Structures are given as structure tokens and as C-alpha cells.
Amino acid sequence: MNKYTKKQDQLTKIFSEYFSDANFKCQIWAAFSYKNEKTNIYVFMTSSPLDSYSPEDAIAIRLSLQQTASLAAALETAATGPDIFGKGYQAAQSLDQSKSLNVKVGRSNETDEYGIALFFRDADLSHVITLSSFDAIGIAELLKAAVQAAIGQNFSMADVKGANSAPNGPSGYSGASPVHKKPPKSHNTLDSMRFDD
């Protein structure tokens, strides 16, 4: 069992939603752990290829609640004011700089319309999820919902015990991944957009 799966199994999920583009899917999930009478809250964005269920292909980015709320605001700004968004936004970066999540705004080479891209990077592995402005606003709402779920959760020891004994956890989430069907032909989304560096 790799570190990603082992770590995920030690957490109690309180929120989980998915989104995808033509090539990659991403899970936004909030969870907590209770250890030594201390509660730790996490929000993760985990991207992986659309047709892969292997943890080795996944990039999991851990965000604080503040980083999650800031990322939601950045996506809203990118969607509603792409011309003022600037060079991009770094949502998260590991201390050793090997892992990061960045948001950039680009223009379609075909239609010249704005598009938004999430750049996930972990050492030699990278994923790019492209979004329309409408999608970006929806994902911002999901991120805000993850923060609200984390804040609203009562993290007393009694609630932790109750959550672990509930059939589907406190949110009713069953843990089963949704079925994603790969489009007939995947394409390199970076070929269809350009970004100002």
C-alpha cells in the first residue's frame, strides 16, 4: 500500500465531490483525523487520468481551509475577470517545491475565448484540467462547500465515534467512486489553449 492510500484510509471523510475534463478527473474532499485528543482538518484535491484508478497515477494536493477559500476566490476571479487575472495563481506548493497546484487563464486557439486551467504537479508527474468559466464558478462553489462542511463538523470524540459507526459516514457519502466514461477520443487540451507567461 502506498503512502497516498494509507494516509487516505486513516481519515474520516466529511465531503466529497468530483469533476472532470476530457482527460483528467479531480476529487475535492474534506476529511478529519482525531489523534492524541487533537483534530486535524484537511481539504484535498486529487487529480488522476480519467481512465485510471491507480493511486500511483494520482496527484493529491493538501490545502488548508484558508488556501481552499482563497482558491475558490481565485477561480471566481479567473472566471468573471479573466483579463485582470494576471499571470496566474499558485494555490499550493510543498516545502520542497516538488508538488504544486496552479491556476492560469488562457485563450482558446480556435475561438479566442478565455479558458481556465488547473496545473497539478508532483515531481515528474503533471496533470492539466481545463475549465470553462462556468465550470470554474461551479468548482469554486464546491470548494466553498468543502470549507463549510469542515467548519460545520463538530469534532468532539463522541462525533468521531458516531461518524465511524454510521453506514455511510456523516455526509452520507458511500465511498464508491463515480463511473467516468472516457470520451471517444482524448486530446491534449494544452494544444488548444495558449497562456501568457
In order of their start, the domains of the chain are: 3-165 (2.30.31.10)
Where does the pLDDT of residue 188 fall: very low under 50, low under 70, confident under 90, or very high at 90 and above?
low
Cα–Cα distance for residue pair 149/69, rounded to 1 Å: 12
Contact 41, 146 (CB under 8 A): no
Cα–Cα distance for residue pair 29/84, rounded to 1 Å: 29
pLDDT tens readout for residues 23-75: 999 999 999 887 777 778 889 999 999 998 899 999 999 999 999 999 999 99
Cell (9 digits) for 140: 469554486
User: What's the mean per-residue pLDDT of the chain?
Assistant: 81
Provide the residue type at 10 as one letter: Q
pTM confidence score: 0.74
Confidence at residue 175, expressed as pLDDT on a 0 to 100 scale:
46
Contact 110, 171 (CB under 8 A): no
Helix H or strand E segment including 195: strand 193-195
